[in-house]
Structure 1
Amino acid sequence: MRYREFWDLVDDVFGRAYGRSLASDQVLDALGGRTAAQAIDDGLEPRLVWHALCDAMQVPDQRRWGRDPHRQAPPAR
């Protein structure tokens, strides 16, 4: 997953305004007490950050990949 894809999914799954706020404000234990945005800025793999955010927000697997039915879901880990 690329950084652009991460942010596209944030916008698609959570909505642009809420998703950007969530990524900037929600501290995630799975990311060492960082927000998703901090983890991305620190160079963590976007796929790992995405799964941590989805896990924390209890996003079901079928919703994690947005509205594009052709999007390939990368493995969780």
Structure 2
Amino acid sequence: MRLTDFWARLDEAFGATYARSIAADHSFAGLGDRTIDQAIADGIDTATIWRAVVASYPDRVPSRLR
């Protein structure tokens, strides 16, 4: 998944402002307790990051974005 696609999905699922807050402030167990911003900086594949987001927020992410 391209980085631009990742951000578009995150924005659509959470709204642009809340998406940025989640990216900076929420640590995901599926990412080794990293935030999204840290995981991207560490070179983790965006598809892996997206799967961690979906696993953490299954009711928030629409099925068409999974």
TM-score (norm 1): 0.75
Aligned position for 2:6:
6
From the two aligned structures, give the one with the greater strand fraction.
1
From the two aligned structures, give the one with the greater helix fraction.
2
Q: Unaligned 5+ residue runs, structure 2?
A: none
Confirm or deny: 8 A CA contact 2:13 2:62 kept in the other structure. no
In the TM superposition, 1:21-36 aligns within 5 A as 21-36=21-36
- Displacement of 1:58 after TM fit? 2.1
**Structure whose alpha-carbon radius of gyration is higher:** 1
Percent of aligned pairs with the same amino acid = 37
* Stretches (4+) displaced over 4 A: none
Counterparts of 1:12 and 1:30 in 2: how far apart (Å)? 21
Q: Unaligned 5+ residue runs, structure 1?
A: 66-72
Amino acid in structure 2 at the alignment position of 1:40: I
- Displacement of 1:61 after TM fit? 5.7
TM-score (norm 2): 0.86
Measured on the aligned residues, the alpha-carbon RMSD in Å equals 1.6
Counterparts of 1:54 and 1:25 in 2: how far apart (Å)? 16
Q: Deviations over 1:38-65 (max 9, x none)?
A: 10111100001011011112245615x1
